[in-house]
Copies of this chain bind each other. A is one copy, B any other.
Amino acid sequence: MKYTTIIDIAQALGISKSTVSRALRGDKQNVSKETRERILAMAKKMGYTRNELAVNLRKQSTRTIGIVVPEMLTPFYMNFITYAQQELNRQGYRVTLAQSHENPNAELANLQMFEDYRVEGILISVCHTEKNLATYQRIMKKGIPMVFFDRTLSSLPISKVKIDDYLKSFFLVEQMIRRGKRRIVHLAGPDYIQNSQERKRGYRDALEKFHLPYCPEYVIDAGVDFSGGEQAVEQLLKQHIAFDALFCFTEMSALGAKSNLQKHGVQIPDEVAIACISGTDLCVLVHPSITAVEQPVKQMAEEASRLIVQKVEHPELPDKTIILEAETIYREST
Q: Which residues of A contact B (CB under 8 A)?
A: 1, 3, 47, 49-54, 56-57, 62, 72-73, 75, 78-79, 81-82, 94, 96-97, 99, 101, 112-113, 115-118, 138, 142-144, 226, 255, 259, 285-287, 315
User: In the complex, A3 Cα to B62 Cα: how many Å?
Assistant: 14
- A117 contacts across to B, CB distance below 8 A: 52-53
This chain: how many copies in the complex?
A: 2
Q: List 21 A-B contacts (CB under 8 A).
A: A1-B142, A1-B315, A3-B118, A47-B138, A49-B112, A49-B115, A49-B116, A51-B57, A51-B118, A52-B116, A52-B117, A52-B118, A53-B62, A53-B117, A72-B78, A96-B96, A96-B97, A97-B97, A226-B285, A285-B286, A286-B286
Q: Nearest chain B CB to A109's CB is how many angstroms away?
A: 10
Q: Which residue from B118, B143, B287 sits with its C-beta under 8 Å from A53?
A: B118
- A118 contacts across to B, CB distance below 8 A: 3, 51-53
Known A-B contacts: A3-B118, A49-B116. Give 12 more (CB < 8 A): A1-B143, A51-B116, A52-B117, A53-B56, A72-B81, A73-B75, A82-B99, A96-B96, A97-B97, A255-B285, A259-B285, A285-B286
Query: Quick check: B142 and A47 within 8 Å, CB to CB?
Result: yes
Q: Nearest chain B CB to A8's CB is how many angstroms away?
A: 14
Q: Which residue from B73, B97, B138, B226 sits with its C-beta under 8 Å from A79?
A: B73
